[in-house]
Structure 1
Amino acid sequence: MSTSTLNYLILITVIVVAGISQGLLLPVLSIFLERQGVSPGVNGLNAAALYVGSFAMTLVAERLLGALGFKKLIVGGLMLVMLPLLLFPYFAELKIWFVLRLIVGIGDSALHYAAQLWVLLVTAPEKRGRYISLYGMSYGLGFSIGPLGIKLLAFGDAVPFLVLFAAMAAVLILVMMKLPDTKPEKAEQGQLPERRFRRSFTWAWYALLPALLYGYMEAGMNSNFPVYGLRIGYDANEIASLLPFIGIGGLFLQLPLGMLSDRYGRKNVLMTAGLGGGLAFMLVPLTGTHFWLTLILLLLAGGLVGSFFSLGLAYAADILPKSLLPAANVVASFQFTIGSILGPNLGGQLINWVSPGSMFIMLGCMYFIFAITGVLFRRKREAEFVLK
């Protein structure tokens, strides 16, 4: 096995455990708070702390990566995620959980930024679609496994956190032993133009919006679906069985959608997937507590929009100069964080003040609007990208 292949597999392993951490923490903690009688609005606000931490890291991630390098940033991210896992079950207070989620968010953001930028920079353009799809599938795999931790609550409230801690400790050892200590190329950094973040968003705003939608969907579903399920009559085991199918759908369709985007264009695939995924989400409230109908809709919706983040990054890489890719990666992470903060909060308020099913109506409308907006982006794509 070549060194580059081994490095890529290690990065994939890191992303899998990062997906597990997000897929497990949000629903398990939401169930704890719902049992304590905390309102959905406060529940969602507390969950958003994770993404406030992620937002804070996004602001300094580029400079930290340049100073520390890929390996040290990944090691630091893993440790920041791991330590709060030992404290969550023993300090069940909203204020303490807010701080702990903040720390987890900082760590998760560091992991994602370092890993996805490394993959983008070292991947040849002709293999970009394949590698980005595999990256997205790896995160989707972890995201799908995470909610199964709800079933471990039967053995004790601390068990899901301890199991996740052990898994992340094993990955930390692997990273420290095998991953090379490298930094971004100085030449690459020197080629970044002034106002690179504004330029990358101005030139590729439609390619970067999927990160916002994916963050909204992921955080909103993980935080609010357990509350939605409990409110309409599902029990914790049924919720634990249903929630992973959003990520499983992404696993099934990630690579096929990536291949279709190579053939028919990434924007066309994003628009079509947005329409189909939005419709599937809007139909969920109509199924009530029909387990299998809900499962099928979540599988379909997750499959269609589960590749939004990776497809959006690939689309941005297609239409932006290479020197703007690091900046575009920061903007995508920023968008993801904003969506992740909005998801639990807006969804929780909708459940609290409108109806449990209104969270799905809002989600579907957002994807519809995104798909329609794609027509406007096509009309405006006339200027060539010339760096001055």
Structure 2
Amino acid sequence: MRFWILISIVAISGLSQGMLLPLLSMLLEKHGVSSSLNGMHATALYIGVLLISPFLEKPLRQYGYRPMIILGGFIVILSLALFPAFHSFWFWFFLRLCIGIGDHMLHFATQTWITDFSPAQRRGRNLSLYGLSFGIGFSVGPLLASLIQFKESLPFLLSSLLSLIGWCCVFFLPNERPKENEQPSLAHTFDRFVHAWKYAWVALLLPFTYGFLEAAIHAIFPVYALREHIVIEHVAFILPAFSLGGIIFQLPLGLLSDRLERKRVIAGALLIGSVSFLGAYFFHRSPFGLAACFFIAGMFVGSLFSLGITYMADLLPKQLLPAGNLLCGMLYSIGSMIGPFVNGFAIEYGTNNFFFTISSILFLSFFLLLWNREKKVIHL
């Protein structure tokens, strides 16, 4: 019951995030906001994640998982409900930043709780279901945003109501706390970050890579498509192919990582992802070829966030899991902010196909790093 309530909350969170991205973009465009300011507005979510991250570990250890989920969920519910109150660029920016804070509190607590109670032989399965629930919710979000045609406030209020229902379920869960670390050298969050990075840096780079790729695909590929004269109808089925591949193969890849050596499963996924984007480079003039390459890439690298958390949990002792999970969220946000900028810069000052080249080189580099890495023995 605990596990299914947690992933249901994550699915509703994904629904809210998937709704907000297109909905606020459309509303800001409708209110005459420039595209550059519109893009800057979207970074508020990730700024909120980075601002709150250093302050979460101590209260999680002191008060436990449930209070942090309750507080984070309350911030999200209240922020969603307040969007229709004022049509102000900066007020909406503040609310989006608050949702980034609340969502990160919720995700940090839920994924740390799941990695804490999941046995090693089921960790890949549990975290793949975690990623799958968020992915499905995120994919359904734009459908909720389409309700704007009936009433502008309807998507916000409905999303807030769904979040409230999930939030109420949390009160039925018993509270638990992370394992305490008795070593004084790890008393401060910064020290824990250093130790977590030292022993699990390869795993921690996987959420960064996923954030870099996901944000670049959704933000820059439409620009690439316009420059390559790909019609909108083709873009409409090429873009979802990546997400669909990730949703379909998330659980099988997680189960496979439980049965085989996790490092080699992830390395294989990175290699296939690199080859898929290399294939997209050669099939860039074929919409169906691009869709096939995106689908295959999504099958194998669309699970990098959940696989990264799983592998991180394999490498770290339980007392470092909160710090490791915080770093996963922070690096995902940094990757999501950097990805569109780097790929946009490459298209602007290079060639359009640099979009695929950068992704292919990135995955190949991490494949080589992961394949040649030996596990370190941790002495705390």
The TM-score normalised by the length of structure 2 is 0.84
The CA deviation at 1:181 is 3.0
CA contact (8 A) 2:178 2:322 kept: no
Mapped pair 1:271 → 2:264: no
Of the three residues 181, 201, 216, the one matched with 2:175 is 181
- Structure 1 letter corresponding to 2:130: Y
SS of equivalent residue, structure 1 residue 385: coil
Mapped pair 1:159 → 2:116: no
Mapped pair 1:147 → 2:142: yes
Which residue does the alignment assign to 2:378?
A: 385
SS of equivalent residue, structure 1 residue 86: helix
CA contact (8 A) 1:143 1:244 kept: no
Change (3 A) 1:99 1:213: same
The 5 Å alignment of 1:110-121 reads 110-121=105-116
Mapped pair 1:13 → 2:40: no
Q: Deviations over 1:190-232 (max 9, x none)?
A: 3585323212212221111011122223344455566777886
The CA deviation at 1:56 is 1.5
Which residue does the alignment assign to 1:97?
A: 92
The CA deviation at 1:325 is 2.3
The CA deviation at 1:82 is 1.9
Counterpart Cα distance in 1 of 2:307 and 2:3: 19
- Structure 1 letter corresponding to 2:267: M
Counterpart Cα distance in 1 of 2:373 and 2:292: 37
Which residue does the alignment assign to 1:218?
A: 214
Mapped pair 1:86 → 2:81: yes
CA contact (8 A) 2:262 2:311 kept: yes
The CA deviation at 1:101 is 1.1
Change (3 A) 1:180 1:263: closer
The CA deviation at 1:12 is 0.8
Q: Deviations over 1:5-31 (max 9, x none)?
A: x11111011110111122221122223
SS of equivalent residue, structure 1 residue 386: coil
Mapped pair 1:190 → 2:182: yes
Q: Deviations over 1:103-149 (max 9, x none)?
A: 01001100100000000111112221221221121111112212223
- Structure 2 letter corresponding to 1:304: F
Which residue does the alignment assign to 1:340?
A: 336
Of the three residues 324, 328, 342, the one matched with 2:320 is 324
- Structure 1 letter corresponding to 2:178: P
Which residue does the alignment assign to 2:306?
A: 310
Change (3 A) 1:182 1:339: same
Change (3 A) 1:376 1:181: closer
Stretch moving more, 274-283 or 73-82: 274-283
- Structure 2 letter corresponding to 1:218: E
Counterpart Cα distance in 2 of 1:106 and 1:330: 12
Counterpart Cα distance in 2 of 1:149 and 1:228: 27
State, as a whole percentage, how many aligned pairs show the same letter. Answer: 39
- Structure 2 letter corresponding to 1:266: R
Q: Deviations over 1:256-287 (max 9, x none)?
A: 22233344433333233234334545628965
Which residue does the alignment assign to 1:122?
A: 117
Which residue does the alignment assign to 2:50?
A: 55
Mapped pair 1:369 → 2:365: no
- Structure 1 letter corresponding to 2:150: F
Stretch moving more, 197-206 or 148-157: 148-157
- Structure 1 letter corresponding to 2:173: L
CA RMSD, 1 decimal: 3.3
- Structure 1 letter corresponding to 2:318: K
Q: Note the residue ranges of structure 1 that are not aligned, 5 or more in a row.
A: 1-5
Q: Note the residue ranges of structure 2 that are not aligned, 5 or more in a row.
A: none
Counterpart Cα distance in 2 of 1:134 and 1:100: 29
The TM-score normalised by the length of structure 1 is 0.83
Counterpart Cα distance in 1 of 2:267 and 2:234: 32
Counterpart Cα distance in 2 of 1:203 and 1:140: 28
Counterpart Cα distance in 2 of 1:75 and 1:240: 37
Of the three residues 296, 300, 305, the one matched with 1:300 is 296
Counterpart Cα distance in 1 of 2:274 and 2:246: 15
The 5 Å alignment of 1:26-41 reads 26-35=21-30, 38-41=33-36
